[in-house]
Amino acid sequence: MTTTPQCPEGLYSPDIDLLRRCIQRGPHEWHASEDGVEWRSPQLSEGPQQVSTELVKHQAMNGASLPDMVRYAEQLSNANLLPGQYRRQPANVLYAMEYGRTLGITPIAAITGIHVIEGKPSASAALISGLVRQAGHKLRVTGNGQSATAQIIRSDDPEFTYSVTWELRRNANGNPSAEEAGLLNKDVWKKYAASMLKARAISQVARDACEEVLFGLHYTPEELSANVGEDGVPMDAQVQQLRRVQPGEQDPWSAPGPHPETFEPHADAQALAARAAAAEDRMVLNCLVDEAKRDLPADARIVAPDTEQPDTLREYLGRRWAVLPKPSEQQADEGVTDVEVVAEGETEADIAERDLRAAAATAGLDNLDEEFERSFGLPIGEAGAPQLREMTALLTGSAA
């Protein structure tokens, strides 16, 4: 007995970065996915066909070099249709691209679907749903203006169903409710109760069932007190740039410990930071950077002279290097031209490499050697000064 093969046709949904596969068998005009979505092909499906190539289009940037990604981010940041925090902010765009690559979604999906509220990354319920389904798990959502239920069946544990129900009013079932959470007075809950209930149920069941697919996107913007519309996208809430919590800085979203750590600056690192604050040119600062690498721990902490806040010596030296004038600029101010002071035995490439590493430290690029070799096809130690300066220009945003 011959079994009719399942249709290989797929439908790609770029808004949630999801490929739905048809579950129909035999000739059919309308395709249907497991979650009930239907679509139509130009002609009948009568045999194996090419699955939609849209799935791989967004992967074009995955193999791109850092300079290519920087240029892409700079061009994209000029679009007026982007959310406000990304317009004219190529660094924000680049961060979103990297975050999206971690999640396996397109840069546009990351930019429009991920929002940072008071330092905490969040995602719309639609994006969370897409991540769950993209991982191969089944998600079903039902509800109305009074309650909503979201269920997840994991692909590796199909016998168990995770289920969360959110209700509008306080209830005897033990289900979380908008009334108990103090949400009923919010305008968005008055207008879009059904959508808000579904969003709450989806995010909570996703945290319970498959937290590993969220990559830190545990909450919707509305759960973080952002003012959102019916689609859950922030309207006028303050949205901040994604950033790393710096050494010596308390993570505002971590659970407070019973005994906070007392900050003690490294004495020798603090003294070197004071000398760096008094430096008037990059040549002097480069010598201090070499001294720090040679004599001090890489994570030595200080009270930064520029911010008077706990910081690492490495981060402060990077910022200090960025604000000091280049040798050519200082010479022009002093009326000297075509003169460059080079330490005995030091080549032009040595100076260019030192400038590049300082720029990478300022930009927070930890894998500089790997990115450079991927971009230029040779290690930093074998590169010439022009190539090193080109990479420095890309990192500092001064590329032509």
pLDDT digit string, tens, across residues 21-75 = 777 777 776 767 776 667 665 444 344 444 444 434 444 455 567 788 888 888 8
Query: CA dist 117 to 143, 239, 355, 361, Å?
Result: 27, 5, 35, 26
pLDDT reported for residue 175: 92
Other CB atoms within a 10 A radius of the CB of residue 218 amount to: 19
CA distance 129 to 231: 13
pLDDT of 2 strictly over 60: no
pLDDT at 57: 40
CA dihedral 199, 205, 210, 211 (to 10 degrees): 70
Query: 89 pLDDT band (50/70/90 cuts)?
Result: confident
pTM recorded for the entire structure: 0.45
Of 35-39, 152-156, 201-205, 333-337, the poorest mean pLDDT is in: 333-337
| Confidence at residue 198, expressed as pLDDT on a 0 to 100 scale | 93
